[in-house]
Amino acid sequence: ELASADRATLHDPILHYEKKREREREREREREREKKKKCIKCAVNKLKYLDAVIKEALRLFSQSVIERVCGKAYKLPPALPGEKSFTINKGMIIWIPLYAIHHDEKYYDNPEEFRPERFLNNHQDNNYRSSFYFPFGLGSRMCIGRRFSLLMIKVVLFHLLARCELKQCAKTSSIKFSEKNLLMMPKDGFWLNIQHRNDKYDRD
């Protein structure tokens, strides 16, 4: 009876202690997860070349046009000698050809070439800092989620490249866009060979 009483006396304190310990362990695991997230974010932000690769991809494969409404009348000069000027009246809808601007050799040297170096801070070709680079639109109606989107792209690529190797396969070819879609959609999709890396990496 005494032993039974002792066990009963210890039962609740032990359970309480174990529950408290489990809560503490869970809080510690949560702190470790948050710490790891911050470390990944810091590491991603230091990958300047990855940032340049993403920016160059957004330049090459940007949306075709953005739409705006003219706020006041504006007279455009003749596009060619002998042609007439053109007035954009207030309320007219304007399409700004982003794709054409991003692929114009007046603004980008060898515009069809994939060259991430043009987006590095120490590179001489830095026109993207001016009015010739806007993959997320421009002005007050620019995409409000652009910073979050860029961070998500970096984090996904960070984990993907840490775990996998991306290689060409027999079906890999230059991307051709669909003529039936206003958005830049691959006509036949795109194909890659994704192989798991053999080197160790913390997957938690």
Domains held by the chain: number: 1
Does 78 map to a domain?
yes
**Distance separating alpha carbons of residues 141 and 149, to the nearest angstrom:** 16
Separation between Cα atoms, residue 27 and residue 34, nearest integer Å: 10
Whether residue 6 lies inside any domain: the answer is: no
State which residues form the domain around 61.
Answer: 13-196
Residue 202: inside a domain, yes or no?
no
Give the range among 16-25, 112-121, 181-190 with minimum mean pLDDT.
16-25
pLDDT digits (tens, 9 = 90+) for 82-108: 999 999 999 999 998 888 999 999 889
Instruction: Give the pLDDT confidence of 41-73 residue by residue, as tens digits.
Output: 677 777 888 888 999 999 988 887 888 899 999
CATH (domain of 153): 1.10.630.10
Task: State the pLDDT at residue 137.
Answer: 84
The answer to whether residue 156 sits within a structural domain is yes
Helices of type H across 47-134 = 48-60, 98-102
Range from 126-135, 174-183, 195-204 carrying the lowest mean pLDDT: 195-204
pTM: 0.69
- Domain presence at residue 160: yes
Domain assignment of residue 204, yes or no: no
Residue 36 lies in a domain: yes
Query: Within a domain: residue 85?
Result: yes
59/112 Cα distance (integer angstroms): 10
How many percent of the chain have pLDDT more than 70?
74
Q: Is residue 143 marked as binding? A: yes
Does the pLDDT value for residue 1 go beyond 50? no
Average pLDDT, the chain: 78
Q: Is the dihedral of CA 161, 136, 58, 54 positive or negative?
A: negative
